[in-house]
Chain A
Amino acid sequence: MTRFFRSPQATPYLLLLPAIAVILAVVLVPLLVSLWTSFTGYNLTKPATLFQWVGLRNYQRVLASSDFWWAFGRTVLFITIALNLELLLGLGLALLVNKITWGQRTLRTIMMFPMMFSPILVGFQFKYLFNDAVGLVNNALFDLGLIREPIAWLVDPILANFAIIFAEVWMSTSVFAILLLAGLMALPKEPLEAARVDGCNPWQVFRHITLPFLMPFIYIAMTIRSLDVARAYDMVRIMTNGGPAGRTELLWTLMTRTGYQNSQMGMANAMGYVSIILSIAFTVFYYRKLTQARTFMGGAQ
């Protein structure tokens, strides 16, 4: 054993040891503890309940709860719509900004402004904008003579979800724009010029050269965003807190309420483990797409 540690083969392992230890401490241990608690009646304010084994009770309740599955479905829909809108708008922004030769740096900085706000502040801002009585949106619509009765943006089942997606898109589109702009800036000029010489129109250039080149960037941006989209929790918490009557309930609001407000951490962790399927599915999907896109770029076709 000692001989192994002194041999050159051991060097990489020894050098990685601190990293492994840190990862074990901050990822694996919490993961195992949370998995354990999902089989207990763990109550955050009663440490003794950490050992109150309840078997599959939490999972049975989660799987049988219609509230949970509604929140699950709504979250999938929310992520799908928000990410696709962010992608389209981000791509558009990146293409526009890429055309600019003068003042591009300033514009890039301005574009990043929404990312600098804390999601809580974004939540308060949009809650105020969409307020039915004193909000800017309704006031503007009244002044333009477009409505006669105030629109209850944060109450109507469709409009409330729209308002939340709108706020999320406002906050996070720039993430896509910045990542895709980086891709555009790294795009080699030669194939573009060659295509133009060959008589391609701008759409053909975009469709067959720019877009395939950008695909890896798009999938990386998608993967990152599908994992950190849960940042929207604070925003939803402030704007509707999942209401009214659960119409905007997402997994994050449901789990946080269960785990922290209700202190039912065991139950919340069970919900977490069921919904982790969602994160894994999205990650696997985008990584596959990423690999495909890179094969394409490598000149295989």
Chain B
Amino acid sequence: MSNKLTTALLASCALGLLSGAAMAQDFDYGKFDGYTLKVKLIGGTQYEKLYTRIPEWEALTGAKVEIVSSKNHFDLDREIKQDIASGSITWCVGSNHTSFAPQYGDLYVDLKELIPQSELDKYVPGTLASAMVDGRLVQLPRVTDVSNLYYRKSLYEDPARQAAYKEKFGTDLAPPQTFDELKQQVIFFADPPNLYGTAFAGKDEGMSGRFMEILRANGGDIFDENWKPIFNSQAGVDAVNWFKDIYDAKAVPAGTINYTWDDIGAAMAAGQLAVDLDWPGFAGFYSDPNASKIASELGFATAPKGTAGIRGGWSGSHSFSVTQQCDNKPAAASFAVFLTNDESEMMEAQAGNLPTRTATYPAVKEWFKANDKAFMVDMFTAWEASLAEARTPPLIAQWIEVSNVIWPNVQAAIVGQKPVQQALDDAVAEATVIMQDAGLLQ
């Protein structure tokens, strides 16, 4: 009884911040006096604020947390694979991500066995579904990642540009509804080297993801239902041509083929791009007048649709997972729930991240209104709207490997080193070998 009382007291302290948005916690975080929970967490400024809540969990449960590793996701991934290879899984909770999760096999437990359904029901259903691998809930989502449009209102509201656009295309200049329209606007706005239409992540999984997004919006897909790679379809060719057209028109910086998220963020914040299709985490950065030149004119719109009339939003979540080898799984599950509970999600959402709990959306909109950041309400509305149609990358262990044959070939097509169809055919041939070796494709 006193445990529950302490829980309730601590929870209400934390909820004090939320001014009335508090809800009774019915999840029992348990008592693990004297236990030390070993965790491997993703590091980096935007991720570490949440870890300031760890002492609260320690006070609540009597356990101690030892962070045995804190690295960026790629290094963490490498380390976890080395742990699997050497059979030294001595830790309990690890940071995870939708794209990485399928690779780890049975390293992580099915959290449905550790967390009551009533608690799981509090998460956004689509987000929770994307955290499953082979029907097992191997991760508890922490923040969701789906791309939508940031645009500069000053450009869209400029009368001269509005008139020129109307004259040229016969339609009003407004945030784009389709990828074709986006391409048209990107080329229209471009005035290099002072202003580019946009920039895209041109290498690594970012490039594969961007390609997959447009491929799916065009009605295509990476694999058919028998895991046969089929992205060299017409939808795939159209998707690559979308990138190639804006690249050839010099509507994107020539270096975009080598950009990752940090470069794109820097270019957008420096006022060099007209629109940016990007993850929610940049909202805070772009709207900060000290860091961004476009803070006063930031607009938000839901991602455009492809030729098939659908959105192909590439979605994934950062998450926490619990290892099979963990010597105290209830403590590990309690920790994972605590770091994704209503208060934790509120903390993530206030920083501009897309939360994974349904109740957080209305709560954080209220909070933004009350804190003179009404424009952030628009952002959450635009991003929330795209969640329903968002899809994860194929949840198979081979995805990263397949992605590593897609992006260099797409790059080759964009810079004109290979014809588009040949680049995609080459990638499909390599992907087919990967799927055959894995035994998924006969």
A261 with B400: CB separation less than 8 A: yes
Q: Quick one: CB contact mask for B246-280 with A, threshold 8 Å, 1 for yes?
A: 00000001110110000100110010100000000
**Are A241 and B203 closer than 8 Å at their CB atoms?**
yes
**Residue interface bits B389-414, CB-to-A below 8 A is 1, else 0:** 00000000100110010011101101
Given known contacts A132-B253, A155-B415, A263-B103, A243 and B258 CB-to-CB distance under 8 angstroms: yes
**A274 in the interface, Cβ–Cβ < 8 Å?**
no
Minimal Cβ-Cβ distance residue in A for B407:
A243
A243 touches B267 (CB 8 A): no
Number of chain A residues close to chain B: CB under 8 A:
33
Chain A window 224-263, contacts with chain B (Cβ cutoff 8 Å), 1 for yes, 0 for no: 0000000000000001111111100000000001001111
B271 to chain A: closest CB distance in Å?
10
Interface residue B375 (Cβ < 8 Å from any Cβ of A): no
Classify the interface of chain A: helix, strand, loop or mixed.
loop
Question: CB distance B272 to A133 under 8 Å?
Answer: yes
Whether B258 contacts A45 by the Cβ 8 Å rule is no
Within 8 Å CB of A47, what residues of B? 84-85, 87
Nearest CB on B from A47, distance (A): 6
The answer to whether A173 has its CB under 8 Å from any CB of chain B is no
Give chain A residues whose Cβ lies under 8 Å from the Cβ of B202.
243-244
In the complex, residue of chain B having the shortest beta-carbon distance to the beta carbon of A44: B81
Contact: B203 with A244, CB < 8 Å?
A: yes
Encode B97-108 as 1/0 by CB contact (under 8 A) with A: 000000111010
* Distance of A95 from chain B, by nearest CB (Å): 37
Q: In the complex, A153→B270 CA distance in Å?
A: 20
A150 within 8 A of B: yes
Interface string of A54-78 (1 = CB under 8 A from B): 0000000000000000000000000
A45 touches B192 (CB 8 A): no
A161 CB within 8 Å of chain B? no
Of all chain B residues, the one with the shortest Cβ separation from A264 is B401
Chain B residue nearest to A133 (CB atoms) is B253
Shortest Cβ distance from A141 into chain B, in angstroms? 11
* A150 and B253 alpha carbons, distance in the complex (Å): 8
Q: Does A269 contact B (CB under 8 A)?
A: no
Cβ contact within 8 Å between B255 and A243 = no
A45 near B104 with CB under 8 A, answer yes
For A134, the chain B residues whose CB sits under 8 A away are 263, 266-267, 270, 272
For the complex, give the distance between the alpha carbons of A260 and B415 in Å.
27
CB distance from B70 to the nearest CB of A (A): 15
Is B361 positioned at the interface, with any CB of A under 8 Å from its CB? no
Q: Given B105, B258, B266, B409, which contacts A155 in the complex, CB threshold below 8 Å?
A: B258
In the complex, A160 Cα to B254 Cα: how many Å? 12
A155 touching B255 by the CB < 8 A rule?
A: yes
Q: Inside 8 A of B87's CB, which chain A residues have their CB?
A: 47
Set A149, A155, A239: member contacting B257, Cβ < 8 A = A155
Cα-based distance from A261 to B82 in the complex (angstroms): 11
List CB contacts (< 8 Å) of A94-141 with chain B.
Answer: 127, 131-134
Shortest C-beta distance, A32 to chain B (Å), equals 16
* A133 and B196 contact, Cβ closer than 8 Å, known pairs A45-B104, A263-B81: yes
Q: Is B3 an interface residue (CB 8 A)?
A: no
State whether the Cβ of A142 lies closer than 8 Å to any Cβ in chain B: yes
Determine the distance from Cα of A95 to Cα of B81 in the docked complex, in whole angstroms. Answer: 48
**How many Å lie between the Cα of A44 and that of B85 in the bound state?**
6
A152 touches B81 (CB 8 A): no
Chain A residues in 8 Å Cβ range of B168: none
Q: How far is the CA of A150 from the CA of B400 in the complex (A)?
A: 33
User: Nearest Cβ in chain A — how far from B87, in angstroms?
Assistant: 7
Tell which of B85, B400, B415 touches A245, judged by Cβ atoms closer than 8 Å.
B415
CB of A218 closer than 8 Å to a CB of B: no
A265 part of interface (Cβ distance < 8 Å): yes
Query: Does chain B have a CB within 8 A of A46?
Result: yes
A41–B87 CA distance with the chains assembled, in angstroms: 18
Chain B residues in 8 Å Cβ range of A154: 255, 258
- Contact B263–A131 (Cβ < 8 Å): yes
Within 8 A of A (CB), among B217-242: none
- Nearest-neighbour CB distance to chain A for B155, whole angstroms, equals 17
Specify which of B77, B193, B266, B411 is in contact with A243 (CB 8 Å cutoff): B411
Give the B-binding residues of A (Cβ under 8 A).
41, 44-47, 127, 131-134, 142, 149-150, 152-155, 160, 239-246, 257, 260-265
A-B contact sample (12 more), CB < 8 A, given A45-B397, A154-B255: A44-B84, A127-B263, A131-B266, A152-B257, A241-B203, A260-B78, A261-B74, A261-B77, A262-B400, A262-B401, A263-B397, A265-B85
Could you give 9 example pairs across A and B, Cβ below 8 Å?
A45-B81, A45-B103, A134-B267, A134-B270, A244-B203, A244-B257, A245-B415, A246-B412, A257-B404
| Nearest 7 A/B pairs, CB to CB | A152-B254, A132-B255, A245-B412, A262-B401, A245-B411, A133-B253, A244-B257
